[in-house]
Amino acid sequence: MNQKDENTWGTLIHLGGLIGMAVLPTVGNIIGVLILWLIKRSESAFVDQQGKEAINFQITLSIAAVIVNLINNIANGFWSLTNFWRHTRGEFYISWGWTDLLVVIWLINVIFSIIAAVKASKGESYKYPLSLRLVK
């Protein structure tokens, strides 16, 4: 594979998480990167390395999203009971939702995936910050 093709596939792999997330919000980010990486990983060391980085980052974000969703569901159950109790007493309150953290996770994905795609398009390797190294 020539250098231009390596850069193009590296870029596509990094953007695969965003594309997959747009198509299938729950696990599309992992599937998008995984499909592109599996197709081209044996043709280039650069594409293989960037694919591993991208899949590790997407898995990390998905784990974080699952944790936030679990906390959100537990908190909603607790706050539902508390809200019912307070409402019967005529009290009102404003609470910050855990779903706001899902927006933060989504923004982190968009920002770092674009940075990685730009670096890959220039032929530079990119290591995502805050990423678990699960696929080696």
Q: What is the pLDDT of residues 63-118, one digit of tens each?
A: 999 998 888 777 766 666 555 555 555 555 555 566 678 889 999 999 999 999 99
pLDDT at 80: 60
Place of tokens 């309150």: 93
Q: Rounded to 5 degrees, what are φ and ψ at 29?
A: -60, -40
pLDDT at 130: 85
Per the structure, how many domains does the chain have? Answer: 1
Rounded mean pLDDT, 27-45:
94
Rounded mean pLDDT, 130-136:
88
Q: Is residue 134 in a domain?
A: no
Whole domain around residue 78: which residue ranges? 3-121
Q: Is residue 27 in a domain?
A: yes
Q: What HEC string does the chain produce?
A: CCHHHHHHHHHHHHHHHHHHHHHCCCCHHHHHHHHHHHHHHHHCHHHHHHHHHHHHHHHHHHHHHHHHHHHHHHHHHHHHHHHHHHHHCCCCCCCCCCHHHHHHHHHHHHHHHHHHHHHHHCCCCCCCCCCCCCCC
Place of tokens 């980010």: 29
Q: Is residue 105 in a domain?
A: yes
Indicate if the alpha-carbon torsion angle 48, 7, 26, 128 is positive or negative. positive
Q: Is residue 126 in a domain?
A: no
- The pLDDT > 90 percentage for the chain reads 58
Q: Is residue 71 in a domain?
A: yes
**Mean pLDDT, the chain, whole residue set:** 86
* pTM given for the model: 0.82
Q: Is residue 55 in a domain?
A: yes
pLDDT at 91: 53
Q: Is the pLDDT of residue 46 over 70?
A: yes
Burial 106-119 (b: 16+ CB within 10 A, else e): bebbeebbeebbeb
pLDDT at 75: 72
Q: Is residue 48 in a domain?
A: yes
Q: Is residue 127 in a domain?
A: no
